[in-house]
Structure 1
Amino acid sequence: MIDTATVPVTSAVGSACRSADPSRGFGLYLHVPFCASRCGYCDFNTYTAGELGSSASPASWHEAVARELDIAAAALGSVRPVSTVFVGGGTPSLLGTAGLARLLDDVRGSFELAPGAEVTTESNPESTSPEFFAGLREAGYTRISLGMQSAAQHVLAVLDRKHTPGRAVAAAREARAAGFEHVNLDLIYGTPGESDDDLRASLDAVLSAGVDHVSAYALIVEDGTALARRVRRGELPAPDDDVLARRYRLIDARLAAAGLEWYEVSNWASGPESVCRHNIAYWDSDDWWGIGPGAHSHVNGVRWWNHKHPSRYASVLAGGALPIADDERLADEDRHTERVMLQIRCRTGLPVSELSDRERAGADVFVADGLLCDAGAHLVLTDSGRLLADGIVRDILTA
């Protein structure tokens, strides 16, 4: 372990860690930056083997992650039980069962896992198997999140996804057979060429897998991606807002009929025990430490983010320092904006006490228009309001 007296952190991060409330929820996010191939819509901090060359490897990354975990634990000082762990990417399943088990062992070597901690890993269907899931369950993982995106082959092709249409459902069933009670499938809707019937077929496939959680995201054409270049050249149409709204309603109605209720604008669960507790911690502005290249952290009102390239990330840690690219202390106004933006997206709603008189007057306009429901102490998005959540937040804050 690292000597707490010599923890190499910036003054802002060090101050935030020393003054953090140890009773608040605390999570770890671990970023795996490796992918076998790059999906055309993805702008995440990920790298294929060809893009990395010889400058970084899973071995050097893993060594650096273990070092960052030790420094993080030392910087926080007191024992801070970890209530949620989320391994994301990238493609964590490329590490295999042994690599992911070792990663969780590294977490346990630096931190104490709280009783009943939620431990999630993302996985791509094509790099999983029944043996993979059985090994993860034995290692201590409690939740699996699988990237399905669509059950239509032509939609997967536009997204540059490599798995076959039925593989995600098969993987979800394998995870459940291995003993995972909590399994999520991700969908993307609004891909050019997708029809309403394509989406209905995808939803039927999701529900046939018996999962207890579904995430569904409207396709966003991110600058700098291969998909953005294809749209710019006119090869593909940009997603249409009216189509996206119709598809969202279709998703919500189908999932609700099957017993999965929305708890955040893009997330549905079969019950309170099935919600993703790690993501809830983000929306509640709890503390978390992001481990890995490009990962973001938040402790006690201070945010920081790591160097993005794995080789730079590893070299800084090898030199004995945290790989922080930059940090910022959130002003009270910024923290207020974030709370409004995040809490209004959740079914629990936005506390009225969070709003100034001026902002409450602005919110009342949306209540009158049927986009917000006044539930007494909270304001909750209606079905129509969920389609306009970002605009509602913007107008309330600028009222």
Structure 2
Amino acid sequence: MPSALPLADPAPLDGLLPASVLEGASTRDFGVYLHVPFCRVRCGYCDFNTYTAEELRGTKRSDYASQAAIEVELGARVLEQAGLPRREAATVFFGGGTPTLLPASDLVSMFDAVRSAWGVAEGAEVTTEANPDSVDLDYLRTLKRAGFTRVSFGMQSAVPHVLATLERTHDPERIPLVVQWAREAGLDVSLDLIYGTPGESLDDWRRSLEHAIAQNPDHLSAYALIVEDGTKLARQIRRGEVSQPDDDLEADMYELADRMLTDAGFEWYEVSNWARGAEHASRHNLAYWRGHDWWGVGPGAHSHVGGVRWWNVKHPAAYADRVLAGHSPAAGRETLDAQTRRTESILLLSRIRDGLVIADLDAGARSAVAGLIADGLVDGAAAVRGSIVLTVRGRLLADAVVRRLLPESD
């Protein structure tokens, strides 16, 4: 089962926010994340808050869109009662789970609820994640007509034995077909890859990259496999049934990905993300890294508004009980102090290209920049222009860079 929620303060049943969220609100964008917690099967490596049909304890997928709409309406009331200025959603993102296990009409209904409650900004980025075996052309056309702009396919790998280890169910040969359908529907395309799967060789990874690049996507994500405690994969590794991912091999895989994607015309803009120009970077994810505001809808979804962070109860049955009773589904929340916000800002902004401005750092952090350049972790030319931009080596050692930019007391 997915990992436990963090420990924090109780969340009020009405969801009301403190007056502190007003500070600087006009400078922050607002986005909406809608979590769809359903999967056909649970992949062995997955630690996300997802549920198969057997785990729903009497709740029904067919009821979920209306339940999510109730939380959207609650969110609009809470932000209005806090005195926040009206901000239309600049980005909307459907994640999971597998959002596209629901009928397209359900996703459209949830999006319409967002449009009704908050409004959707002109030119907004509206994305759904999708498994390659969960959509067809008509489905994608329905989303496009409703205002969706982007689809992110969970490709993960093009190599059958790697997909089998990950317990992914789609045929890698379906990737060109779903990308073609998305193009015909008029949607931008992102492909998500995972590297470092037990038994995956560097040649396997090269094959996956070549297959992904050949589809000419607008955006590509490549994430190192993390073995999470409590997952089936972690148990398999503990029993010696599969090998532990190799850190050195993963570093080689990252460097190969960066070379191949750069040669293919992609630009890295975040440690694990590349796009064909800034216009195709994920604006929704950039809002997370830049500390903007978002409301997370659904079981286990996390939200952040003005330094207040909260998260919802995890199980769809508990979520349904809360929202149908007219209560906030939040399970806990925390108000970040100034030091925590500064630390998180450095941690997140250092991951994105040109995200961290040297002049915004304290004196101790500024004095560390020269050493980071000398160690090949930070680009010297960018530093002269006033920004921290990680080199490839720096991206592989991003946590070490952050530690050197933070005061020892952090």
Shorter-normalised TM range: over 0.9
Match of 1:208 in 2: 214
Residue 106 of structure 2, aligned match among 99, 103, 108: 99
1:277 to 283, 296, 301: 283
Partners of 1:16 and 1:299 within 8 A in 2: no
**Separation of aligned partners in 2, 1:16 and 1:290:** 19
Partner of 1:65: 68
Indicate whether 1:313 and 2:326 are aligned: no
SS at structure 1 position matched to 2:258: helix
Deviation at 1:252, TM superposition (A): 0.6
Superposed, 1:77-88 pairs within 5 Å as 77=80, 78-88=85-95
Which deviations, in whole Å up to 9, do the C-alpha atoms of 1:270-291 show, x marking residues without a partner?
0111010000100110000001
- Structure-2 separation of matches of 1:45 and 1:20: 32
Determine helix, strand or coil for the equivalent of 1:47: coil
Deviation string 1:28-80 (CA, Å, 9 cap, x unpaired) is 000000000000000000000001131x2223322221111001111111422
Is structure 2 residue 350 aligned with structure 1 residue 344? yes
Q: Residue 30 of structure 1 contacts residue 86 of structure 1 at CA under 8 Å; is this kept in 2?
A: yes
More off after superposition, 27-36 vs 130-139: 130-139
Residue equivalent to 1:3: none
SS in 2 for 1:60: helix
CA separation in 1, counterparts of 2:198 and 2:366? 39
**Which residue in 1 is equivalent to 2:4?**
none
Please list, as runs of the form range in 1=range in 2, the aligned pairs for 1:19-34 lying within 5 A after superposition.
Answer: 21-34=25-38
Select 1:174's aligned residue among 168, 174, 181: 181
Matching residue's letter, 1:224? G
Task: State the Cα RMSD in Å.
Answer: 1.5
Alignment of 1:57-206 (within 5 A): 57-77=60-80, 78-180=85-187, 182-206=188-212
Please tell me the residue identity of whatever aligns with 1:76.
Answer: L
- The question of whether the paired residues in 2 share the 8 Å contact of 1:173 and 1:210 is answered with no
Q: Distance in 2 between matches of 1:293 and 1:83?
A: 22
Once the two structures are TM-superposed, the CA of residue 382 in structure 1 deviates from its matched residue by: 1.1
Structure 2 residue runs of 5 or longer lacking an equivalent are 1-11
- 1:342-362 superposed Cα distances (whole Å, 9 cap, x missing partner): 111111141112322122223
Partner of residue 341, structure 2: 335
**Secondary structure of the corresponding residue to residue 311 of structure 2:** strand
Query: Residue 366 of structure 1 aligns with which residue?
Result: 372
Name the amino acid aligned to 1:331: D
1:213-244 CA deviation, whole Å, 9 max, x = no partner? 00000010001000000011111111111101
Q: CA distance change for structure 1 residues 257 and 225 in 2, over 3 Å: closer, same or farther?
A: same
Task: Report the counterpart of residue 4 of structure 1 in structure 2.
Answer: none
* Partner residue, 1:397: 406
Check 1:67–1:16 CA distance in 2 against 1; reply closer, same or farther (3 A cut): farther
Contact persistence 1:17–1:76 (CA under 8 A)? no
Deviation at 1:170, TM superposition (A): 2.0
- The answer to whether residue 48 in structure 2 is matched with residue 41 in structure 1 is no
For 1:88 and 1:20, the matched residues in 2 are separated by 28
Aligned partners of 1:240, 1:363: CA distance in 2, in Å? Answer: 30
Distance 1:62 1:20 in 2: 32
Contact 2:65 2:107 in 1 (8 A): no
Instruction: Structure 1: give runs of 5+ residues left out of the alignment.
Output: 1-6
Distance 2:146 2:18 in 1: 32
Q: Note the C-alpha offset of 1:368.
A: 1.6
Q: How big is the shift at 1:318?
A: 1.5
In terms of mean alpha carbon deviation, does 243-252 or 69-78 score higher?
Answer: 69-78
User: 1:26–1:81: 8 Å Cα contact kept in structure 2?
Assistant: yes
- Does structure 2 retain, via aligned residues, the 8 Å contact 1:189–1:247? yes
Alpha carbons of 1:263 and 1:375: their partners in 2 closer, same or farther (altered >3 Å)? Answer: farther
Give the AA of the match of 2:97: G
TM (normalized to structure 2)? Answer: 0.92
The alignment-based identity, stated in percent, is 51
**SS of residue paired to 1:88:** strand
Number of positions where the alignment pairs a residue of Structure 1 with one of Structure 2: 390
* TM-score, normalising length: structure 1: 0.94
8 A contact 2:364–2:407 mirrored in 1: no
- Residues 245-254 or 383-392, more deviating: 383-392
1-side partners of 2:360 and 2:246: how far apart?
A: 34
1:17–1:75: 8 Å Cα contact kept in structure 2?
A: no
Q: Which moved more, 1:24-33 or 1:313-322?
A: 313-322
Amino acid at match of 2:165: V
Write the distance in 2 (CA, Å) between the matches of 1:352 and 1:144. Answer: 35
Q: Runs of 4 or more off by more than 4 Å in structure 1?
A: 16-20
8 Å CA contact 2:152–2:189 kept in 1: the answer is yes
Give the C-alpha shift of residue 133 in structure 1: 1.1
Query: Could you tell me which amino acid in structure 2 is paired with residue 139 of structure 1?
Result: A
1:237 aligned counterpart, secondary structure: coil
CA distance in 1, matches of 2:61, 2:318: 14
Displacement of 1:376: 3.1
